Amino acid sequence: MYLSSNKFSLKLEEATNRYKSRLVLALDYSEVFSRSERNLWNEKKEQLLKKSLRVIESVAKHLAAVKINMQLVLPLGLFDDLQEIVDRVEKYGLPLIADCKINDVGHTNQWIAQHFFNAGFDAVIANPFVGWEDGLNKVFEEARRQDKGVILLVYMSHPAAQEGYGQYVLTSKGRRVAQYIIFAEKALRWEADGVVVGATRPKIVEEVKAILRKKIPIFSPGIGIQGGKIEEVFKSGADYAIVGRTILNSPNPAETARKIKEMINNVVRLLGEK
pLDDT for the residue 159: 85
What is the rounded CA–CA span in Å between residue 30 and residue 66? Answer: 16
Q: Is the separation of the CB atoms in 262 and 269 below 8 Å?
A: no
Average pLDDT of the residues of the chain: 94
Give the mean model confidence (pLDDT) for residues 153-171: 89
Give every CB contact of residue 229 below 8 A, 6+ residues apart in sequence: 199, 202, 223
Return the SS3 of 155: strand
pLDDT tens-digit profile of 102-115? 999 999 999 999 99
| Domains, the chain | 7-273 (3.20.20.70)
Q: What percent of the chain has pLDDT over 90?
A: 85
pLDDT for the residue 2: 72
Q: Is the separation of the CB atoms in 153 and 196 below 8 Å?
A: yes
- The catalytically annotated residue of 101, 186, 215, 229 is 101
pTM more than 0.85: yes
pLDDT for the residue 1: 60
| Whether residue 209 lies in the annotated active site | no
| pLDDT higher than 60, residue 274 | no
pLDDT tens-digit profile of 178-219? 999 999 999 999 999 999 999 999 999 999 999 998 899 999
pLDDT tens-digit profile of 196-207? 999 999 999 999
Return the SS3 of 99: strand
Q: Is the separation of the CB atoms in 236 and 206 below 8 Å?
A: yes
Neighbouring-strand partners of residue 155: 197
Give every CB contact of residue 109 below 8 A, 6+ residues apart in sequence: 102, 103, 126, 130, 135, 136, 138, 139
